Structure 1
Amino acid sequence: MTDRPRPTAVALDIDGTLIDHDEGLSPAVVDAVRRTAAQVPVILATGRAWSTTKPVAERLGLPAGGFVVCSNGARTMRFPDGEVVDERTFDPTTVIASVRKYAPNARMAVEESDGTYLVTAPFPDGDLGRDARIRVVGDDELAPQPVTRLIIRDPDQSESDFVHLAERLGLHGVSYFVGWTAWLDIAPEGVDKSTGLKVALAQYDLDPSGLLAIGDGRNDIEMLTYAGLGIAMGAAPDEVKAAADEVTKSVQDDGAATILNRWF
Structure 2
Amino acid sequence: MNMRAMFIDMDGTLLKASNNISTRNMEAVNTLMNQGVKVFLATGRHYEVTAPYHKELGLRTPMICLNGAAIHDADSGKTIQMKTVRLNDERFHHVTAESAWNVIIHTANGVYCKKTNEEIDYWTQVGRIPPHYIGDLRQANYQDVLKYSVRTGTPCPNISALFNKEAEVINWNDGFELLAPNVSKWSALKSLLREYRISPNEVVAIGDGPNDIEMLRHVGTGVAMGNASEKVKAAADFITGHHENDGLAQFIEQYLLKSKQSYAI
Answer whether TM exceeds 0.5 for this pair: yes
What is the Cα deviation at residue 128 of structure 1? 6.2
**1:75 aligns with one of 70, 74, 80:** 70
Q: Any conservation in 1 of the 2:105–2:113 contact (CA below 8 Å)? A: yes
In the alignment, which residue of structure 1 is the partner of 2:165? 172
TM score, norm. by length of structure 1: 0.87
In the alignment, which residue of structure 2 is the partner of 1:249? 241
Q: What is the percentage of aligned positions where both structures have the same residue? A: 27
**1:146–1:252 distance in 2 versus 1, CA, 3 Å:** same
What is the Cα deviation at residue 91 of structure 1? 1.7
**1:186 aligns with one of 161, 170, 178:** 178
What is the Cα deviation at residue 126 of structure 1? 5.1
**1:207 aligns with one of 195, 199, 204:** 199
In the alignment, which residue of structure 1 is the partner of 2:263? none
Moved over 4 A (4+): none
TM score, norm. by length of structure 2: 0.87
What is the Cα deviation at residue 163 of structure 1? 3.6
What is the Cα deviation at residue 83 of structure 1? 2.1
Residues 219-260 of structure 1: CA deviation (Å, up to 9, x unaligned): 000010121100000010110000111111010111111111
Question: In the aligned structure 2, how far is the partner of 1:225 from the partner of 1:16?
Answer: 18
In the alignment, which residue of structure 2 is the partner of 1:120? 114
**1:12 aligns with one of 8, 13, 20:** 8
Question: In the aligned structure 2, how far is the partner of 1:217 from the partner of 1:89?
Answer: 22
3-state SS of paired residue (1:149): strand
In the alignment, which residue of structure 2 is the partner of 1:46? 43
In the alignment, which residue of structure 1 is the partner of 2:261? none
User: In the alignment, is residue 145 of structure 1 matched against residue 137 of structure 2?
Assistant: no
3-state SS of paired residue (2:145): coil
Q: Any conservation in 1 of the 2:52–2:126 contact (CA below 8 Å)? A: no
State the aligned residue count: 250
Q: Where do 1:223-242 residues align within 5 Å?
A: 223-242=215-234
Question: In the aligned structure 1, how far is the partner of 2:6 from the partner of 2:142?
Answer: 36
What is the Cα deviation at residue 121 of structure 1? 1.3
Question: In the aligned structure 2, how far is the partner of 1:150 from the partner of 1:127?
Answer: 18
User: In the alignment, is residue 59 of structure 1 matched against residue 41 of structure 2?
Assistant: no
User: In the alignment, is residue 220 of structure 1 matched against residue 216 of structure 2?
Assistant: no
Amino acid at match of 1:48: R
Amino acid at match of 2:165: H
Structure 2 segments unaligned to the other structure (5+ residues): 258-265
3-state SS of paired residue (1:241): helix
In the alignment, which residue of structure 1 is the partner of 2:262? none
The CA RMSD over aligned residues, in Å, is 2.0
Structure 1 segments unaligned to the other structure (5+ residues): none
